[in-house]
Structure 1
Amino acid sequence: MSHLPTLNTDTIWAILNEEIDDKIVNQLVWHYLGYRYNESKQIWDTSAVAEEWREKYPEPPDFIANRPPTVQLTRSIPKENKQLLKEYLGFKGYKIGEFGPRQTRRATMANWLLSYLKEKQMLA
């Protein structure tokens, strides 16, 4: 996971526009949740992962393929940040008939990452 794109608004847009592979999007969220892979031991280090994630997901979940972790991700976004994609980026959403669960989950992940940036005071 050492070759992840820089977390910024360009990356958020690339997630929304499906310019970044699902695997990389998952890895970005895992990274900012605190998951680290220990190559030498071949295990996930969850020491930096919040307890509610570590207990439920001792290994990082696939947010694209599975709804339950995405629901938990949505719930972990502070209320005041729920509409950041629209309010901060001006994202209008996907057009009806042009999206499915995969795009919805990617948008959730993008919003969580944008919220992370805001909470860490990394947004201009």
Structure 2
Amino acid sequence: MPDLPPLTSETLWAILNDQLDDDTTNRLVWDALGYRYDPATEAWDTSAVAPEWRETYPTPPDFIESRPATVKLTRSIPAENKQLLKETLGFGGYKVNELVPRLTRRATMTNWLLSHLQVQGQLETL
């Protein structure tokens, strides 16, 4: 997807700190999942999207607004990658007064992106 920031620790912290806009944050996950928008047809190409995502979400979901989509994202993180936020970024979590759905979903998206990088063998490039 054009105009996406690189997946660096700075970008991931910007997601966690709610400094990266929702659209870009969603597009980073969509891109990693394989969703591609074709402006010529004005439709989403899902040929690179895993069947379990393509069947449930033929168009990419808004992970910040959709609890079911975020739950699916959480469940798709391998068990050995569940602690990457803490292990890789040193993220200690949010304070109690910050535990709101939008931030916890951003943390899930960030952890999923870290897991994606790990699975792709690209995590050490952060």
Identify whether the pair has TM-score above 0.5, normalized to the shorter chain.
yes
1:90 aligns with 2:90: yes
Extract unaligned runs of 5+ from structure 1.
Answer: none
Contact 1:26 / 1:62 at 8 angstroms: preserved in 2? Answer: yes
Task: Report the residue type matching 2:115 in the other structure.
Answer: S
Contact 1:81 / 1:115 at 8 angstroms: preserved in 2? Answer: yes
Contact 1:34 / 1:46 at 8 angstroms: preserved in 2? Answer: yes
Q: Find the aligned partners of 2:65 and 2:44 in 1 and give their Cα distance.
A: 20
Q: How many equivalent pairs are there?
A: 124
Deviations 1:74-123 (A, max 9, x none): 00001000010011111000001123000000000000001111111112
Q: Find the aligned partners of 1:11 and 1:86 in 2 and give their Cα distance.
A: 16
Q: Find the aligned partners of 2:37 and 2:121 in 1 and give their Cα distance.
A: 26
Give the equivalent residue in structure 1 for 2:3.
3
Contact 1:9 / 1:114 at 8 angstroms: preserved in 2? Answer: no
Give the share of equivalent positions with the same residue, in percent: 64
User: Comparing both structures, which one devotes a greater share of its residues to helix?
Assistant: 2
Q: Find the aligned partners of 2:60 and 2:38 in 1 and give their Cα distance.
A: 13
The two structures have a TM-score, normalised by structure 2, of 0.95
Give the equivalent residue in structure 1 for 2:101.
101
The offset of 1:33, in angstroms, is: 0.1
Give the equivalent residue in structure 1 for 2:48.
48
Task: Report the residue type matching 2:79 in the other structure.
Answer: K
Task: Report the residue type matching 2:14 in the other structure.
Answer: A
Runs of 4+ more than 3 Å apart: none
CA RMSD of aligned residues (A): 0.8
